[in-house]
């Protein structure tokens, strides 16, 4: 299928998924979101599963791009932008062709796909790729921040695993028990403020609060996926971005 | 339905759920796990949804009991026991009538129910009750530990939200991308060791690592759900329990 109609079909799949959920989704529901007949859709994709796999592939690329282009000069600013991307529940205003309109419904639909992953290797493989993209991005930002002295001397691997767990848990609790994504954001902001920012970046702790204040060179691995030079950490900016 | 056969049916529901998953589960699958005919099962429960609701009610009570009876004298020990309960993937040896045999399958089935929660208020209500049980228990243990000086002077509410997010995220990533629950355990043990234990309980940090080392009385709320008197924190024990 040529790129342009292919993208239109994938966006239609996303919209149909958000409206109907995974369990109830039919090829007709997806066709109804396009200019194509159900027969024409079947010509390119045999089943709704094939369409969902194309959608998951597209989602991972899109997500990778969004995480690559995070706003912010410093590591704390870029981490804050990453939280914005992952915990947004903005459902509109902007053009719905970008595929993330109606975000809460989107996360609900994605949770259904996650729940089916143990029964479907193709789903699991693509979800694992998206998980790895996020993990790698957080790890890179944390390593940059440690190297620049903006963050305390933490282990970027362990910190990234914790952040990705909190994000995944926040999404799950949002879908399963209706807990606000804003609460997840508060948890992460509190974690960064209390445990991740270097001591001299704190504005709300006493002079004897020195976790990670040692100034030895970081033993963190050399960041490999940073695309921006680290600038001097600015405590004021880091705080202002919260 | 009298208590005893009711419990047998609920255990059968759990086993059938683990074997077949939520989406494919039928009343016949559940009947096959009991001595009852499908007709007899229908006499007591109209639909598989009714059975799942009874199962979720039972699960919350069982879970509350398990979290109430955590092993350990000190708060760090009890928190470690709570992690054991929540992240165990022991699937056997012990009697399978306790309802948690085949734990990975159990979490997969529960993830399917979580994904359906936005479409079913009865599911969501019961999942929210279980979430609150866990949150309250973690909050109580942290508040106890802060009051006893075993934990740094953290906010029990914020800490409990982070711990419950990590647990939920660990379960989700385990189901969706096959990441080990042992890795989630490592994340939580690292968090406790680096950020939660009071400074004098650390064995692997320098003498100037004093986050939370101030000895002012805790301003944490009075613990309300503690059932055990706090004993003196023992750094050695806390480390040994990891």
User: Residue A242: which H helix or E strand, with range?
Assistant: none
Structure tokens at B212: 């939370």
Which residues share a beta bridge with B170? none
The reply to whether residue A168 touches residue B164, judged by beta carbons under 8 angstroms, is no
Beta strands in A152-203 (DSSP E): none
What pLDDT sits at residue A200? 75
* Chain B touched by A115 (CB under 8 Å): yes
SS3 state of residue A151: strand
Q: Is the pLDDT of residue A107 over 80?
A: yes
User: pLDDT digits over A60-84, tens only?
Assistant: 888 889 899 999 999 999 999 999 9
Best mutation target, A113, A130, A169, A196, to test chain B (most B CBs within 10 A): A169
A20 to chain B nearest CA, in Å? 10
Of the candidates A115, A128, A177, the beta carbon closest to that of B177 is on: A128
Q: Among residues 201-240 of chain A, which lie with CB inside 8 Å of chain B?
A: 206, 208-211, 213-214
Residue B60 in contact with residue B69, Cβ under 8 Å?
no
For position A195, what pLDDT does the model report? 94
pLDDT digits (tens, 9 = 90+) for B136-148: 999 999 999 999 9
Instruction: Dig out the tokens for B242 from the structure.
Output: 């990891």
Contacts of B170 in chain A (CB under 8 A): 165, 168-169
Provide ipTM, 2 decimals.
0.78
Q: For residues B77 and B70, what is the distance between their CA atoms, to the nearest angstrom? A: 9
Give the whole-number percent of chain A exceeding pLDDT 70. Answer: 74
What separation, in Å, do the N-terminal and C-terminal C-alpha atoms of chain B show?
44
* Closest approach of A155 to chain B, Cα-based (Å): 10
Are A187 and B118 an interchain contact pair (Cβ–Cβ within 8 Å)? no
Closest Cα in chain B to A168: B169
Q: Which of B21, B162, B211 sits opposite A119 (nearest CB)?
A: B21
Q: Which among B172, B175, B210 is the top mutation candidate for probing chain A, defined by the most A β-carbons within 10 Å of its own β-carbon?
A: B172
In this prediction, residue B155 carries a pLDDT of 96
pLDDT at residue number B202? 57
Return the pLDDT at B225. Answer: 45
Give me chain A's average pLDDT, please.
80
Q: Contact A61/A130 with Cβ under 8 angstroms?
A: no
CA B202 to chain centroid:
26
Sign (positive or negative) of CA dihedral B76, B77, B80, B85: negative
Q: Do B173 and A179 touch (CB under 8 A)?
A: no
> Tell me: the pLDDT tens digits for A154-172?
999 999 999 999 999 999 9
Q: Is A162 on the interface with B (CB under 8 A)?
A: yes
Shortest distance between the Cα of B2 and any Cα of chain A, in A, equals 31
| The predicted structure's pLDDT at residue B142 | 98
What is residue A168's predicted lDDT score, i.e. its pLDDT? Answer: 97
The enclosing H or E element of B135 equals helix B121-148
Q: Return d(Cα B11, Cα B97) in angstroms, integer.
A: 7
Q: Please classify residue A47 by burial: count the beta carbons closer than 10 Å to its beta carbon, then call 0-12 exposed, 13-18 middle and 19+ buried.
A: exposed
> Which is more confidently placed, A35 or B74?
B74
A161, A167, A174: best to mutate for the B interface, most B CBs within 10 A: A161
**Hey, is the C-beta of B182 within 8 angstroms of any chain A C-beta?**
no
Inter-chain touch B187–A118, beta carbons under 8 Å: no
Encode pLDDT of A145-156 as tens digits.
999 999 999 999
Query: If we measure between CA atoms, which residue out of B188, B172, B160 comes closest to residue A172?
Result: B172
pLDDT of residue B2: 66
Number of A/B CB contacts below 8 angstroms equals 150
Check pLDDT > 50 for residue B91: no
pTM value? 0.78
Please, which pLDDT band fits residue A227 given cuts at 50, 70 and 90? Answer: very low
Minimal C-alpha gap between B164 and chain A (Å): 8
State residue A207's pLDDT score. 43
When the pLDDT of each residue in chain B is averaged and rounded to a whole number, the result is 80
pLDDT band at A89 (very low <50, low <70, confident <90, very high): low
Q: What is the dihedral of CA B16, B17, B20, B26, to 10 degrees?
A: 70
pLDDT band at B189 (very low <50, low <70, confident <90, very high): very high
> Given pLDDT bands bounded at 50, 70 and 90, which one contains residue A103?
low
In chain A, % of residues over pLDDT 90: 50
Shortest distance, CA B124 to any CA of chain A (angstroms) = 6
């Amino acid at each position: 299928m040529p790129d342009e109609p292919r993208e239109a079909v994938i966006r239609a799949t996303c919209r149909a998924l958000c409206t109907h959920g995974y369990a109830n989704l039919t090829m007709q529901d997806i066709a109804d979101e396009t200019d194509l007949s159900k027969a024409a859709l079947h010509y390119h994709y045999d089943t709704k599963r094939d369409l969902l796999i194309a959608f998951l592939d597209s989602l991972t690329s899109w997500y990778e791009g969004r995480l690559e282009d995070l706003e912010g000069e410093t590591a704390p600013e870029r981490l804050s932008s990453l939280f914005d991307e992952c915990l947004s529940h903005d459902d509109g205003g902007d053009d719905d062709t970008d595929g993330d309109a109606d975000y809460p419904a989107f996360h609900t639909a994605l949770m259904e796909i996650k729940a089916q992953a143990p029964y479907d290797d193709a789903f699991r493989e693509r979800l694992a790729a998206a998980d790895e993209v996020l993990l790698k991005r957080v790890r890179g930002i944390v390593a940059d921040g440690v190297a620049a002295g903006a963050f305390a001397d933490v282990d970027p691997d362990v910190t990234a695993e914790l952040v990705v767990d909190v994000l995944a848990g926040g999404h799950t609790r949002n879908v399963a028990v209706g807990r606000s994504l804003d609460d997840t954001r508060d948890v992460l902001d509190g974690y960064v403020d209390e445990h991740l920012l270097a001591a001299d970046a704190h504005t709300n702790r006493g002079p004897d609060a020195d976790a990670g204040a040692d100034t030895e060179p970081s033993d963190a691995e050399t960041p490999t996926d940073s695309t921006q030079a680290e600038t001097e950490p600015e405590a004021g900016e880091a705080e202002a971005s919260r």
